[in-house]
Amino acid sequence: MFANESPATGERLSEVEETEATEIGRAVARARAAQAAWADRALHERVKVVSKVRSRLLGAAEEIAALVRSETGKPLAEALLGEVLPSADVVTYWASVVEEQLEPWEPEMDALSYPRKEARIHREARGVVALVTPWNFPFALPLRTIVPALLAGNAVVMKPSEITPRTGARIADLFAGLLPEGLFSVVQGGATAGEALVASEVDLVVFTGSPATGRKVATICAERLVPCTLELGGKDAAIVLADADLDRAANGVVWGAMMNAGQNCGAVERVYVVAEVSAAFTAKVAQAAKSLRIGVDVGPLTTAAQRAVVARHVDAAKDAGAEVLTGGEAVDEASARLGYRPTVMKVAKAQEDTLALLRDETFGPVLPIVEVADVEEAISRANASRYGLTASLWSRDLPRAEQLARRLRAGVVTINNHSFTGAIASMPWGGVGESGWGVTGSPSALDHLTRPRLVVLDRNRATRELWWYPYSPTLEKLAIAFAALRGGAASLGARLSALLSVVGLLRRRSAELSRGAVDP
Ligand code: NAD
């Protein structure tokens, strides 16, 4: 079941053993046993321990990048720049902000209604986090969650993709000897192992993958009443306006579409260009894509199944009359055994609704360009997708572009660039619709990796609170006077009179409570 041949070179990869379902249960039990003591450790100690991973990771940068390349086929430059370096930054970022972010804070309480009380909100670890990840960024994606999850006091059991199990195991090695036994472990396997992990006694599931699997994961979590976060697919649109710098826009969308051979949830998968600049822009894109070197700039597809999806989308579009400007065919070379030529296609608006190439995630080095009349049409077409992960706008008018950005249905909108922030730990990453509902990166990630625990301290020595038993007409009048005081009274005079009533009624209510008998 595990891929044993490198898509990059065809070399034989080491054997990996699948983890049995019973052993997955045991890994979760070990994680639970270790978690409470870990969460009890001072946060600065947890920071100290986890921070050690940074130098281990950087010291092994080339070796890790080569491993990632051997399993995915991506160029070494992409493995280094897109996986290894950002992962070191993930450790740096969280080590520097986590103490401030997890600091307890005090919400306000109205002293009149709730006298002599104070409250503090502590951020508590969820417990045991199940992490299920895909193969396209097998090193960076898991670490984006593992680092803040551990720092927040959680245990983590991770299942990497069955297509990149060795990179998953290498992540476990990075933590070897640093953490308490069982606090973080990696289990191996495909759908069966993933389901077994999600259905086990975990407290939170963090899933990244396809919408189809995300739905299954969410269903299991719903049955167990366990929260989950879902980072799913994308069909990113790039909108090119008449005032765009066309050279930058063409180079940018080509990089955004072809990087990682297009196997990127935040890849440009549709371009909407306004008619005025359509011909000039399209020619530049085709030229830029044609100049890319297979195996150097654009790696192979990671799996034969993925290449088949790409070919299916492109062939159906060709059959429907879309024009191939460059590429449009598979290529098998020593440097890219599962290659697909960087492809640019011109697609007519009329075809958009029926073509998988413009509706479903292609996940390959293919860029369909659609000419539109104006910006309004571009926005409505961009927003018409089931997905909503990221989008980009290309224009020299930044204030206008920023306003337009807020009308795009996407979790991330980049102006004059595309989706590069996915690798930056301080930036939130997440989508809407079938792109899921998770957020990784930024302090927002802690919203699901922790839960708030409110602790209230009451210094009130009265034998009863105002709102405790026994209820009375005075209490009712007091509540009505509070409503008037808080905005129900129409005029300043009425509000003043409500204030006087509140003061008088508070006095009467206190008296009846200390007497232990209510006014009639
Ligand atoms: P996938 O859904 O096939 O698999 C993802 C993971 O889920 C793998 O580890 C797999 O073994 C596991 N899995 C499969 N069936 C399962 C089940 N029934 N229960 C539990 N786990 C199960 O996705 P993939 O092909 O590995 O990855 C590509 C997808 O991931 C694309 O759709 C891509 O857009 C998406 N992705 C999203 C983001 C994001 O941040 N939104 C990032 C990277 C990839």
Q: Ligand 1 within 6 A of 221 CB?
A: no
Reply yes or no on whether the pLDDT at 335 is more than 70. Answer: no
Does the CB atom of residue 191 touch ligand 1 within 6 A?
yes
CA–CA gap between residue 425 and residue 445 (Å, rounded): 10
Between CA 505 and CA 499 the distance in angstroms is 10
Domain locations along the chain: 44-232+443-453, 236-424, 462-515
For the chain, the average pLDDT equals 96
What's the rounded mean pLDDT across residues 465-479? Answer: 95
Cα 65–Cα 70–Cα 71 angle in degrees, nearest 5: 100
Whose Cα sits closest to atom 43 in ligand 1? 265
Which has more confidence, 233 or 337?
A: 233
Q: Which of 101, 192, 85 is nearest to 143 (CA)?
A: 85
pLDDT at residue 22, rounded to an integer? 95
CA distance 466 to 112: 10
Rounded to the nearest angstrom, the distance between the alpha carbon of 482 and the centre of ligand 1 is: 53
Determine the average pLDDT of the residues in 66-89: 97
Nearest-CA residue for atom 17 of ligand 1: 191
Question: In this structure, what are the phi and psi dihedrals at residue 228, rounded to the nearest 5 degrees?
Answer: -140, 155
pLDDT of residue 3 exceeding 80: no
Is 322 within 8 Å of 357 (Cβ atoms)?
yes
The class that CATH gives domain 236-424 is alpha beta
Ligand 1: does its nearest atom lie under 6 Å from the Cβ of 210?
A: yes
Residues 370, 350: Cα–Cα separation, whole Å: 10
Question: From the candidates 71, 265, 371, 434, which is the catalytic residue?
Answer: 265
- Tell me, in angstroms, the distance from the centre of ligand 1 to residue 133's CA: 6
Distance CA 186, CA 520 (A): 68
Instruction: Using the atom order of ligand 1, give the atom closest to the CA of residue 132.
Output: 9
Q: Note the pLDDT of residue 356.
A: 97
Give me the pLDDT at residue 4, please: 82
3-state helix, strand, coil in the chain (%, to 5): 45, 20, 35
Share of the chain above pLDDT 90, in %: 94
Residue 520 confidence (pLDDT) above 90 = no
Q: 3-state SS of 1-33?
A: CCCCECCCCCCECCCCCCCCHHHHHHHHHHHHH
Q: Do 369 and 254 touch, CB atoms closer than 8 A? A: no
Q: Which of 121, 185, 87 is nearest to 447 (CA)?
A: 121
Q: What is the pLDDT of residues 379-399, one digit of tens each?
A: 999 999 999 999 999 999 999
Q: Give me the half-sphere count of Cα atoms (radius 13 Å) on the Cβ side of residue 183.
A: 24
Among 208, 226, 439, 442, the mutation site with the greatest number of ligand 1 atoms within 8 A of its Cβ is: 208
Question: Of all atoms in ligand 1, which is nearest to the CA of residue 216?
Answer: 18
For 400-428, what is each residue's pLDDT tens digit? 999 999 999 999 999 999 999 998 999 99
Is 231 considered catalytic here?
yes
Q: Look up 11 and say whether it is catalytic.
A: no
CA of 82 to the centre of ligand 1 (A): 19
Ligand 1 center to residue 97 CA distance, Å? 29
Structure tokens at 415: 């102006």
Angle value at C-alpha 328, between 324 and 334, nearest 5 degrees: 150
Radius of gyration of the chain (CA): 28
> Residue 28 has what pLDDT?
98
Cβ of 2 closer than 6 Å to ligand 1, yes or no, is no
- CB-based contact 398:419 (threshold 8 Å): no
Question: Rounded distance, CA 194 to CA 182, Å?
Answer: 18
- Cα(43) to centroid of ligand 1, in Å? 32
Helix (H, G, I), strand (E, B) or coil at 279: helix
pLDDT of residue 16: 95
For 168-179, the pLDDT digits (tens) are: 999 999 999 999
Quickly count helices (H) and strands (E) in the chain: 18, 18
pLDDT of 484 above 80:
yes
Q: Say yes or no to pLDDT of 163 above 90.
A: yes
Reply yes or no on whether the pLDDT at 445 is more than 70.
yes
CA–CA gap between residue 170 and residue 71 (Å, rounded): 12
DSSP 250-273: HHHHHHHHHGGGG--TT-EEEEEE
Sheet holding 390-394, edge to edge: 323-326, 343-347, 366-372, 268-274, 236-240, 390-394, 412-415
Cα 500 from chain centroid (whole Å): 52
Alpha-carbon dihedral 441, 445, 449, 455, rounded to 10 degrees: 140
Active site residue: 231, 269, 434, 512, which one? 231
- Rounded to whole angstroms, the Cα distance separating 306 from 314 reads 13
CATH class of the structural domain 44-232+443-453: alpha beta
Between 146 and 334, name the one with better pLDDT.
146
For residue 439, give the DSSP letter: -
Please tell me the residue having the least CA distance from ligand 1 atom 28. 209
Which candidate, 208, 209, 186, places its Cα nearest to that of 197?
A: 186
What is the per-residue burial (b if ≥16 Cβ within 10 Å, else e) of 255-281? bbbbbbbbbbbbbbbbbbbbeebbeeb
Predicted pLDDT of residue 1: 64
Question: Please, which residues have CB within 8 angstroms of residue 509's CB and are 6 or more apart in sequence?
Answer: 466, 472, 474, 475, 478
* Residue 136 CA to ligand 1 centre (angstroms): 9
How much distance in Å is there from the Cα of 139 to the middle of ligand 1?
A: 14
User: 187: Cβ–Cβ under 8 A, 6 or more apart, which residues?
Assistant: 19, 23, 24, 27, 157, 158, 159, 193, 197
Q: Could you give the percent of the chain with pLDDT greater than 70?
A: 99
Residue located nearest, by CA, to atom 26 of ligand 1: 134
- Report phi then psi at 488, rounded to 5: -70, -30
pLDDT of residue 517: 82
State whether the beta carbon of 213 lies less than 6 angstroms from ligand 1. Answer: yes
For residue 481, the model assigns a pLDDT of: 96
